Amino acid sequence: MVSLRVAPGQDAFEAGQILMSFLSQNPPLDALVSVELMGSGSAFEREATHPTVARVKEAMSAAWGVHPIDIGVGGSIPFIAEFVEAFPEAVVLVTGIEDPDTRAHSPNESLHLPSFEKAIVTEAIFLQRIVAG
- Residue ranges of the domains in the chain? 1-41, 44-132
The sign of the CA dihedral 85, 3, 17, 74 is positive
Which of 44-48, 60-64, 89-93, 103-107 has the highest mean predicted lDDT (pLDDT)? 60-64
pTM of the entire predicted model:
0.71
Task: Summarize pLDDT for 59-102 with one digit per residue, the tens.
Answer: 999 999 999 988 766 656 778 888 888 998 888 888 877 777 88
CB of 2 closer than 8 Å to CB of 40 = no
| Residue 84, SS3 per DSSP | helix
Predicted local confidence at residue 75, as pLDDT: 58
Task: Summarize pLDDT for 118-133 with one digit per residue, the tens.
Answer: 999 999 999 999 999 8
Kind plus residue range of the DSSP H or E element containing 79: helix 78-86
